[in-house]
Structure 1
């Protein structure tokens, strides 16, 4: 059982460009920081790093809005080209709204990967390009798996990798980092059948392990700090064949659908 966990924001990560070798870059940053990955370490990396390396940036000049995008754009005072990107990334629009005090409205969407988020996680901030939109990697789990395999081989260590993104939460203010891609890290830890401290059986307890890890990285990362990777050490976990989708609630259990 873990009684102490350390979180270290990895220093010296350069601006990532399309086609960059993330494994080589992170290995170099770890070495320069006199850090070597050990068995049980978990590396959390922001989604933007993967998206930039995989060329997931769309110049808005290349986008032709559909009639649906034009309609949403007018209703929400949003650039219809960005709306078009959002629609292409979405399985459905859950809800759209614009409060009187807002300059630009919001689209709550079910992303093609199953996540529910604002604007289907399409972003225009913190990646250094004007008049462009960034989308999520095509397969976050595969991206995590490639990075984990390379780093595990480089450092001869049993490690895990989590891809994080920043989401809002229904009925709560503010945003937290959540897990959208996993490699070997459990999505949840099933406690059903175990006993609590008073000997009573646990029936529904299932900590969201991957999201707990992702949220914790926000304590040492700042949006303007250029520290998109965090090393967590001291956690008690066992490698598992996991996917980011494993943390999504089944649609038949969704009481608000």
Structure 2
């Protein structure tokens, strides 16, 4: 087996010898003396960007997390997974109390994509080079232990490599295939910089074919954010139950489910339901003398239907909802 041809593959290395970055530091200064080529990708941690932009605060961390939070996704004890003002879902809203002076916290940059574009333009103006820039941050993964770095700001490279519609070597069409190139670059950068070495900037070489022409910054990292209605994990397990009970946060449950799926869910809860035209009919046992069981069944059905994007029910019986079947409709049919 032979090795790769000369120049093939990727090379990544950290920028050594950088001092403390403070408010007002020009990030392009950090690249003076660095061996940069056209087509390189410069990766810089969000913390360094934030410090340069004055996002360091003398503030209680929990207070800062609350201020940066738009929506709580999940809470376990003191730990909070939230959606922050940038639309990112992460622990503690991205507020960090590490690698900063005791008693201070660092918030995420105001606009990481704009920060990436600005650094890219500064490199072009000072060095005459066309590089891409990725602003990185650390986040956990919903299904796995540990953290990796991901891209929260991107300029000069397409964050996604959308391959839908192409075919593999066996002739199979690719569907929902879009490697997150920017996130992969961020993780590579973290491997070479580490967390404790004081090396927040790195360079990746070997992707020149992906770097966009000068002046074309691409769509930015914003395209990596999954819309809430497409997110199958927009709420934690406990929080989803509470949202259904409250009858709120319906957008976190996604688009309305098909009627057959709603019926399956209702039946799994011991409820007698059938598809009825455009709706779902909950068949109540009107022969029972009491109404308590009917009320419980209706409330249980309401919670299940709300979580599937359906409701409210309309009474088809002669009197109160407990005296006849209930029909649930999706928003498009109500």
Q: TM-score range by the shorter chain?
A: 0.7 to 0.9
Mapped pair 1:165 → 2:137: yes
1:218 is paired with a residue of what secondary structure? helix
Contact 1:38/1:155 (CA < 8 Å) preserved in 2? no
Mapped pair 1:82 → 2:54: no
Query: Which residue in 2 is equivalent to 1:53?
Result: 52
Equivalent residues in 2 for 1:243-254, closer than 5 Å: 243-254=220-231
The offset of 1:217, in angstroms, is: 1.2
Gaps (5+ residues) in structure 2?
1-6, 235-334
Structure 1 stretch displaced more, 85-94 or 152-161: 152-161
The offset of 1:186, in angstroms, is: 1.1
Contact 1:27/1:151 (CA < 8 Å) preserved in 2? no
Deviations 1:85-124 (A, max 9, x none): 11111111112112xxxxxx31111010001000001010
Contact 2:11/2:205 (CA < 8 Å) preserved in 1? yes
Equivalent residues in 2 for 1:134-145, closer than 5 Å: 134-145=106-117
Contact 2:132/2:211 (CA < 8 Å) preserved in 1? no
Query: Which residue in 2 is equivalent to 1:109?
Result: 82
The offset of 1:238, in angstroms, is: 4.1
Gaps (5+ residues) in structure 1?
61-80, 99-104
**What is the alpha-carbon distance in structure 2 between the residues aligned to residue 106 and residue 140 of structure 1?**
25
Contact 2:131/2:211 (CA < 8 Å) preserved in 1? no
1:242 is paired with a residue of what secondary structure? coil
The offset of 1:3, in angstroms, is: 4.4
**Which entry has the higher C-alpha Rg, 1 or 2?**
2
Query: Which residue in 1 is equivalent to 2:43?
Result: 44
Contact 2:123/2:130 (CA < 8 Å) preserved in 1? no
Mapped pair 1:14 → 2:23: no
Among 96, 103, 107, which residue is 2:75 paired with?
A: 96
The offset of 1:145, in angstroms, is: 0.9
Change (3 A) 1:200 1:238: farther
**What is the alpha-carbon distance in structure 2 between the residues aligned to residue 94 and residue 204 of structure 1?**
25
Query: Which residue in 2 is equivalent to 1:122?
Result: 95
Among 213, 217, 240, which residue is 2:185 paired with?
A: 213
**What is the alpha-carbon distance in structure 2 between the residues aligned to residue 3 and residue 206 of structure 1?**
23
**What is the alpha-carbon distance in structure 2 between the residues aligned to residue 83 and residue 224 of structure 1?**
24
Contact 1:13/1:26 (CA < 8 Å) preserved in 2? no
1:154 is paired with a residue of what secondary structure? helix
**What is the alpha-carbon distance in structure 1 between the residues aligned to residue 129 and residue 169 of structure 2?**
34
Mapped pair 1:23 → 2:28: yes
Among 111, 126, 151, which residue is 2:123 paired with?
A: 151
Q: TM-score, normalised by structure 2?
A: 0.64
Q: Give the number of equivalent residue pairs.
A: 223
Structure 1 stretch displaced more, 219-228 or 112-121: 219-228
* Structure showing greater relative contact order (alpha-carbon pairs closer than 8 Å, 6 or more residues apart): 1
Contact 2:50/2:108 (CA < 8 Å) preserved in 1? yes
